[in-house]
Amino acid sequence: MTSNNSFSSRSHSRLSLQGSFEQASRWSPRSENELFDAFSPTEFISVVNQTLEYAYSSVMIVGEVASFKVNQGKWVFFDIKDEEASISCFMTLWSLRVPLEDGMKVVVRAVPKLTKWGKFSLTVSAVQPVGEGSLKKAYEMLKKKLTAEGLFDAAKKRSLPEDLTKLGVISSTQAAGYADFVKIMNARWGGIKVQVAHTQVQGMDAPDQIIRALRYFNERAEVQVITILRGGGSADDLACFNDEALVREIAGSRIPVITGIGHEVDESLSDLAADVRASTPSNVAEMLTKNRAEVSSEISRMMSRMRQILIQQVEQAMDVNRDKVARISRGLVVKYIEPMLESNKAKMTQLLQKIRGEVTFFTKALQDKLKLVEALNPEKVLRQGYAIVSGKISLGMLIKIITMNNEIEAEVKKVKERK
């Protein structure tokens, strides 16, 4: 409701005059002028709402859900309470992006107001479960609902392109997860054009920002893949990735989406809706890119294999040629060398025989000569009992007589001729 200027001016003057509650309770109208300056209920409610809007344009309140209901399929009513107080809450169903039920602990972002019936309530713009128990409950409820709708069907998943050249990134550029992703991607590969949409990645505003970024990339269709990145955090930190509208936007993206949210154990509904889920932002970089070190090693292996094959083939060819040469050589030997050798062998044999013959002949001749020499050997004569006499044979002369065993010196006593 908006107020006109006359209400505003009277509201300020009245409020400044009102003072404390005690003063107001002692007040009573003393003149018609004072009655003329009094608020009507409508005016007063308007004044109060203006004041509330000025003082609390947006307030965050944590409490437990009670009396949750949906009217006419459009309006959501519940109370948010603690041990001592309770405030009514109202919101539209399309603003409700997580399932709620009584007992869940939630945080609401709302504007307080007074209804025209004088009832104080909160007009809620966003609500999110808080605490592990409530978050888990909301997660399970929404997962069941969206699974039944087929949002997470495996058949809908698309694979990532092999040759990635254009990538859309949705993340907080100040976050560690983003920094890790960039570091790993740059180390592993290059040649990729990356457009980065800086958004919040936790808190109530995160889902809408990520949705806008998804629509930005889908409308322009300039990238081949969109990745949503967020490093590790608590269940509350990661709760935005279980926002229904965000999950539906991811599932409906025309461009394939890969998520890298939290750690391996943190599975969000956004992960289930995405085409591919990586365990961490770093893992996204690993899944999207080749590793240049591995490619380099593979190139070396390919060259090594070609070298081996080449060497093997050359050696085989050499073996084949060696055989050929051997065969040819053998052929030549058989045809020319062996006959030549055979012919020479015959000649050699003849020569040898001739030499042997000569040797035999001369050996025999030598032996004959030796026998002759032996026969003329004086020792042989002596062994037969004869003696050798030497010296002048005349009377009175000394002569030497040699027998087999002695040498005798004798004087010639008598000489007589033999007849």
CA–CA separation, 211 and 241 (whole Å): 11
Question: SS3 for 226?
Answer: strand
Q: What is the closest distance, in whole angstroms, from the C-beta atom of residue 208 to other proteins in the complex?
A: 8
Report the amino acid identity of residue 28: S
Interface residue with other proteins among 39, 44, 90, 189 (CB under 8 A) is 189
381 backbone dihedrals φ, ψ, rounded to 5°: -65, -45
What is the arrangement of strands in the sheet containing 388-390, beginning at the earlier edge strand? 388-390, 398-402, 407-411
Interface residue with other proteins among 136, 254, 292, 335 (CB under 8 A) is 292
For position 195 contacting other proteins by CB under 8 A, the verdict is: yes
Nearer to other proteins, 11 or 200 (CB): 200
For position 309 contacting other proteins by CB under 8 A, the verdict is: yes
* Distances from the Cα of 89 to the Cα of 60, 94, 123, 142, 305, angstroms: 12, 15, 6, 21, 73
Residues in the chain: 419
Task: Find the angle CA(193)-CA(194)-CA(195) to the nearest 5 degrees.
Answer: 125
- Give the number of residues in contact with other proteins, rule: CB under 8 A: 38
For position 199 contacting other proteins by CB under 8 A, the verdict is: yes
- DSSP strand pairing (105-114 vs 398-402): unpaired
Interface residue with other proteins among 62, 302, 326, 398 (CB under 8 A) is 302
For position 197 contacting other proteins by CB under 8 A, the verdict is: yes
Nearer to other proteins, 211 or 273 (CB): 211
For position 58 contacting other proteins by CB under 8 A, the verdict is: no
Interface residue with other proteins among 144, 145, 183, 212 (CB under 8 A) is 212
Q: What is the closest distance, in whole angstroms, from the C-beta atom of residue 282 to other proteins in the complex?
A: 15
For position 186 contacting other proteins by CB under 8 A, the verdict is: yes
115 backbone dihedrals φ, ψ, rounded to 5°: -80, 170
Q: What is the closest distance, in whole angstroms, from the C-beta atom of residue 44 to other proteins in the complex?
A: 35
258 backbone dihedrals φ, ψ, rounded to 5°: -120, 130
Contact 93, 73 (CB under 8 A): yes
Interface residue with other proteins among 42, 173, 174, 234 (CB under 8 A) is 173
Interface residue with other proteins among 191, 219, 406, 411 (CB under 8 A) is 191
For position 196 contacting other proteins by CB under 8 A, the verdict is: yes
For position 193 contacting other proteins by CB under 8 A, the verdict is: yes
Contact 162, 145 (CB under 8 A): no
Spell out the residues 6+ positions from residue 8 whose beta carbon is closer than 8 angstroms to its own.
Answer: 50
Q: Which stretch binds other proteins (CB under 8 A): 77-85, 106-114, 312-320, 392-400?
A: 312-320
User: Going residue by residue from 342 to 381, which x/- string records binding to other proteins, judged by CB under 8 A?
Assistant: ----------------------------------------
- DSSP strand pairing (225-230 vs 276-278): unpaired
Contact 210, 170 (CB under 8 A): yes
Interface residue with other proteins among 15, 70, 317, 333 (CB under 8 A) is 317
Q: What is the closest distance, in whole angstroms, from the C-beta atom of residue 312 to other proteins in the complex?
A: 10
CA–CA separation, 162 and 287 (whole Å): 10
Span 322-341, contacts to other proteins by CB under 8 A: none
Contact 113, 91 (CB under 8 A): no
Q: Which stretch binds other proteins (CB under 8 A): 91-99, 105-113, 194-202, 388-396?
A: 194-202
CA–CA separation, 45 and 112 (whole Å): 12
For position 209 contacting other proteins by CB under 8 A, the verdict is: yes
CA–CA separation, 203 and 107 (whole Å): 11
The number of beta carbons lying within 10 Å of the beta carbon of residue 263 is: 13
Nearer to other proteins, 197 or 274 (CB): 197
CA–CA separation, 129 and 236 (whole Å): 8
- Binding interface with other proteins (CB under 8 A): 163, 173, 182, 185-186, 189-200, 205, 209-210, 212-213, 216, 292, 295-296, 299-300, 302-303, 305-307, 309-310, 313-314, 317
